[in-house]
């Protein structure tokens, strides 16, 4: 039976040295949904996103208290395997970051690291991942050419395909379209609607229209606090907190 909640954060606090960046965050994210995190710059939404696959572990002087559970398992527990976690909970960054190698080798990189060596199996994974990322038809005739020759939008979809190749459960997207043109942005947004049939997606965005278009639920962060979370149409039409309405309507942020 598929659990209702893919991710549960409870009383989550995070400090960068003396800076208290996240305050008692309680947030549940349902399996198979797109959850948008909105709020002004520096409000904690990207920091929260990075707690979900322990990317903040890579930063000096970070302290975390509280629980984050993926499929009911506390990822900050003593028995948590960070390598396995980051395979299951992958991240797409603000700017595309393809490896300086061929399109094929970008996609095959993860499976090879995890022990897949047979060419026939890698061929299948590469094609499947590029099809899932809506990129196959555009690159199938140049798989062995450098990924650096792709457009920005294609590079971002390549990075998504690279994640899909290791078969994650959750896709974390940190402003994945902020560096893209409107047409490429639309393609990535359309892609998220297809991918949510198989994956749980959490996206940080500064684009209010994007959050309204693609997400099922929206959470508003402000000054390190989670102000409110609800169904997206409720947040955008009838939020419970005046601060949410002020932000959405452009009065600040």
Domain contains 153: no
Domain contains 104: no
Asked whether the beta carbons of 204 and 49 are under 8 A apart, the reply is: yes
pLDDT value for 146:
98
- Give the Å distances, CA to CA, from 149 to 7, 11, 145: 37, 45, 8
Number of structural domains the chain divides into? 1
pLDDT value for 140:
97
Domain contains 155: no
pLDDT value for 58:
87
- Give the Å distances, CA to CA, from 174 to 69, 136, 167, 209: 20, 24, 19, 16
Domain contains 197: yes
pLDDT value for 253:
63
**List of residues 6+ apart from 107 with CB closer than 8 A:** 125, 126, 129, 130, 158, 161, 162, 165
Give the whole-number percent of the chain exceeding pLDDT 90: 93
Q: Which of these, 8, 22, 49, 32, lies nearest to 176 by C-alpha position?
A: 49
- pLDDT exceeds cutoff 80 at 3: no
Domain contains 113: no
Domain contains 195: yes
- The pTM of this model reads 0.94
Residue ranges making up the domain that contains 91: 5-96+168-248
Domain contains 140: no
- Give the Å distances, CA to CA, from 204 to 14, 39, 154: 18, 9, 20
Mean pLDDT estimate for the chain: 95
- pLDDT exceeds cutoff 70 at 2: no
- pLDDT exceeds cutoff 90 at 126: yes
Q: Which of these, 204, 238, 237, lies nearest to 219 by C-alpha position?
A: 204
Dist. CA 90–CA 166, nearest whole Å: 9
> The domain that contains 76 carries what CATH number?
3.40.50.300
Domain contains 127: no
């Amino acid at each position: 039976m598929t659990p209702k909640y893919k991710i549960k954060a409870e009383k989550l606090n995070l400090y960068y040295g003396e800076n208290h960046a996240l305050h008692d965050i309680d947030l549940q994210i349902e399996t198979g949904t797109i959850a948008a995190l909105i709020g002004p710059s520096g409000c904690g939404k990207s920091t929260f996103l990075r707690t979900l696959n322990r990317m903040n572990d890579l930063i000096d002087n970070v302290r975390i208290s509280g629980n984050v559970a993926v499929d009911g398992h506390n990822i900050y527990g003593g028995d948590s395997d960070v390598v396995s976690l980051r395979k299951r909970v992958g991240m797409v960054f603000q700017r595309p970051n393809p490896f300086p190698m061929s399109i094929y080798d970008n996609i095959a990189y993860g499976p090879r690291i995890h022990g897949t060596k047979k060419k026939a199996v890698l061929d299948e994974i590469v094609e499947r991942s590029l099809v899932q990322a809506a990129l196959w038809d555009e690159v199938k005739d140049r798989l062995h050419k450098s990924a650096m020759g792709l457009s920005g939008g294609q590079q971002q979809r390549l990075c998504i395909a690279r994640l899909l190749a290791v078969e994650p459960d959750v896709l974390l997207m940190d402003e994945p379209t902020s560096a893209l043109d409107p047409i490429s942005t639309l393609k990535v947004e359309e892609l998220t609607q297809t991918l949510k049939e198989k994956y749980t997606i959490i996206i940080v965005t500064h684009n209010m229209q994007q959050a309204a278009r693609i997400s099922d639920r929206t959470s508003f962060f402000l000054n390190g606090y989670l102000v409110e979370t609800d169904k997206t149409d409720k947040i955008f039409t009838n939020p419970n907190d005046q601060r949410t309405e002020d932000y959405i309507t452009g009065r600040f942020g």
